A and B are shown apart, each in its own frame.
Chain A
């Protein structure tokens, strides 16, 4: 009955499912200025005294998702919810079913799916998921980075975390006024504001999903062609992180 009184914000990010790192995901999203709603089988213990809206129910059920405002949400994060000792493929299958339900209710939503077995990516592609995250590969790459590049872990943590109020990795849509102007000028403007530009992202028109291709450190003479995003490190957390420039 909790859901009836839940005040769901619009343009929010929906967290579907709950696992051991869900709370950290929630905190990070909040820290980056994104309102969040949670859909989970039961209200997580960690959110007992929290003001975060929680909708209880089957995460792959249309009605539950509608109650959580899936139709007005900007993004959805579908977490790998390992209930008991289910095999990785079963957990992935459940996650993909949830993603499928989310996408069918709101095709324009930006969906991020966490999967355990990379071989299940083809199913995620069939479900038109915009972004698939392989847990083990990401962690493995991160561990290898820490071991091979001494002392870099603090730097990387700082980069990926928004909740530490220090530097963080961000993207922003390029404003139309930059159309056809050299990227060198865009980067100079970003540097003038104390941020560090790293690269650009172009929309992949051949893919029905919202897939972006990145280019690190592009040539200064490259012309900006919208839609385009700029990847940059903001040296301290600001409200404009997610906005347009």
Chain B
């Protein structure tokens, strides 16, 4: 009984060693297989068919010979032809099996790692969501609607994530290795959510948020970072971490609720201009193209109106702060001259997705 068990274990170990070696030398096995197929095709075309027909037809015949089908497999005319059929039937089919099983294993392993959030993100210009809360899914929906690629870095995979085409990375958002895995070096922007945890106060949560933002900014200072803070008193910490944009949920919500009460009926308009995932319109900002340099904003606005867009104002970089901040001017005089870099804020129709 014990000897049977030890035999099985030894067998398994040998199998694992073989699989490891195969994995290591897969490239050479693949190369050998391709050399066998192409060499056989060439020899068949040259010797068996005397150079008649195309080499692709010869390749096709050789592939069928591999599985024992076709005239050449049953009746080779030359000695070399017989050797080729023998080699393809014994060595070729074994190598094909090895290659196919290895490819399948690799695909399965990749998918499994993807599911567990262990792969490295290869997106470029994407947005990274750090952490997760009950608003995150709605943010994700909006980002996807505005045609952004998204990577989500969170401790454990939220169930709702499986409904979206996003890249998932499992891990602590404050860890630099995990941020690199989420493709921070090529990301365009990062959103750090206030992630609720039992027993933690708003200040504790803000501290964790700022730590994550600090890790993000230290790895890639050019990234545009948006953080969600719960206590406005913590803004100074976020600013020291060179965060570009801070959202105070409570304050924004209060502004909008008050606007809904004081400007009766305006809520549908506000909801519309804040939403990309509907068929309505949304608020947007875009860089002004170099062709407009030195020309009047009135001209630019007229051109935009001609395209069915509604220009609202302009933004110019605020050079007084170390972070990427913009000063804005709503409804500027038509004679204001465009001096790049400058952005225009406008309302335009959504694509309807």
A binds B: yes
Query: Do A152 and B262 touch across chains, with their CB atoms under 8 A apart?
Result: no
| A89-147 residues at the B interface, CB under 8 angstroms | 110, 112, 114, 130-131, 133, 135-147
A-B residue pairs in contact (CB < 8 Å), sample of 28 = A21-B254, A28-B254, A33-B262, A77-B261, A79-B257, A138-B271, A139-B252, A141-B138, A143-B139, A144-B139, A144-B146, A145-B274, A147-B139, A147-B224, A147-B245, A149-B285, A151-B324, A154-B328, A155-B313, A155-B345, A157-B255, A160-B259, A160-B270, A194-B331, A196-B312, A212-B266, A217-B310, A233-B312
Query: Do B262 and A13 touch across chains, with their CB atoms under 8 A apart?
Result: yes
Query: Do A216 and B272 touch across chains, with their CB atoms under 8 A apart?
Result: yes
Residues of B contacting A110 in the complex (Cβ-Cβ under 8 angstroms): 261, 264
Residues of B contacting A151 in the complex (Cβ-Cβ under 8 angstroms): 245, 285, 315, 324-326, 328, 343
The 9 closest A-B pairs by CB, nearest first: A212-B265, A140-B138, A24-B254, A28-B258, A151-B326, A144-B142, A21-B254, A21-B250, A141-B274
Q: Count B-side interface residues using an 8 Å CB cutoff.
A: 70
Across the interface, A150 reaches (CB within 8 A) one of B135, B142, B224, B272, namely B224
Interface string of B231-255 (1 = CB under 8 A from A): 0000000000000111101111111
Q: A23 to nearest B CB, angstroms?
A: 8
Flag whether B61 is at the interface (Cβ < 8 A). no
CA distance A91 to B24 in the complex (A): 60
Pick from A38-46, A64-72, A167-175 the stretch touching chain B.
A167-175
Query: Do B247 and A233 touch across chains, with their CB atoms under 8 A apart?
Result: no
Given A137-B138, A147-B139, A150-B343, 19 more A-B residue pairs with CB atoms under 8 Å apart are: A24-B251, A24-B255, A25-B257, A29-B262, A32-B262, A33-B262, A77-B258, A79-B257, A141-B274, A141-B275, A144-B146, A145-B274, A147-B189, A148-B189, A151-B245, A155-B330, A167-B330, A199-B269, A235-B331
Across the interface, B143 reaches (CB within 8 A) one of A144, A195, A196, namely A144
| A29-79 residues at the B interface, CB under 8 angstroms | 29, 32-34, 75-77, 79
CA distance A112 to B268 in the complex (A): 12
Flag whether B29 is at the interface (Cβ < 8 A). no
CA distance A153 to B255 in the complex (A): 13
Across the interface, B310 reaches (CB within 8 A) one of A170, A198, A213, namely A198
Flag whether A188 is at the interface (Cβ < 8 A). no
Query: Do B327 and A156 touch across chains, with their CB atoms under 8 A apart?
Result: no
Query: Do A212 and B268 touch across chains, with their CB atoms under 8 A apart?
Result: yes
CB closest chain-B residue, reference A197:
B310
Q: A101 to nearest B CB, angstroms?
A: 18
Flag whether A231 is at the interface (Cβ < 8 A). yes
Residues of A contacting B257 in the complex (Cβ-Cβ under 8 angstroms): 21, 25, 77, 79, 112, 114, 133
Residues of B contacting A146 in the complex (Cβ-Cβ under 8 angstroms): 226, 245, 247
Query: Do B256 and A216 touch across chains, with their CB atoms under 8 A apart?
Result: no
Flag whether A210 is at the interface (Cβ < 8 A). yes
Flag whether B267 is at the interface (Cβ < 8 A). yes
Flag whether A225 is at the interface (Cβ < 8 A). no
Flag whether B206 is at the interface (Cβ < 8 A). no
| B306-348 residues at the A interface, CB under 8 angstroms | 308, 310, 312-313, 315, 324-328, 330-331, 343, 345, 347
Pick from B5-13, B47-55, B276-284 the stretch touching chain A.
B276-284
Across the interface, A25 reaches (CB within 8 A) one of B127, B254, B281, B325, namely B254
Give chain B's interface residues, CB within 8 Å of chain A: 127, 134-139, 141-143, 146, 148, 189, 191, 224, 226, 228, 244-247, 249-276, 280-285, 308, 310, 312-313, 315, 324-328, 330-331, 343, 345, 347
Query: Do B330 and A235 touch across chains, with their CB atoms under 8 A apart?
Result: yes
Q: A109 to nearest B CB, angstroms?
A: 11
Residues of B contacting A152 in the complex (Cβ-Cβ under 8 angstroms): 283-285, 315, 326, 345
Residues of A contacting B189 in the complex (Cβ-Cβ under 8 angstroms): 147-148, 150
Q: A240 to nearest B CB, angstroms?
A: 13
CA distance A34 to B258 in the complex (A): 10
Flag whether A245 is at the interface (Cβ < 8 A). no
CA distance A155 to B265 in the complex (A): 22
Q: B229 to nearest A CB, angstroms?
A: 11
CA distance A147 to B262 in the complex (A): 28
Q: A80 to nearest B CB, angstroms?
A: 10
CB closest chain-B residue, reference A142:
B252
Flag whether A20 is at the interface (Cβ < 8 A). yes
Residues of B contacting A130 in the complex (Cβ-Cβ under 8 angstroms): 264
Residues of B contacting A28 in the complex (Cβ-Cβ under 8 angstroms): 254-255, 258-259, 262
Flag whether A201 is at the interface (Cβ < 8 A). yes
Residues of B contacting A142 in the complex (Cβ-Cβ under 8 angstroms): 247, 252, 274
Interface string of A210-224 (1 = CB under 8 A from B): 111110110000000
Residues of A contacting B285 in the complex (Cβ-Cβ under 8 angstroms): 149-152, 155
Residues of B contacting A135 in the complex (Cβ-Cβ under 8 angstroms): 253
Query: Do A229 and B265 touch across chains, with their CB atoms under 8 A apart?
Result: yes
Query: Do A131 and B276 touch across chains, with their CB atoms under 8 A apart?
Result: no
Interface centre among A32, A133, A231 (most CB of B within 10 A): A133
CB closest chain-B residue, reference A141:
B274
Q: B149 to nearest A CB, angstroms?
A: 12
Query: Do B253 and A139 touch across chains, with their CB atoms under 8 A apart?
Result: yes
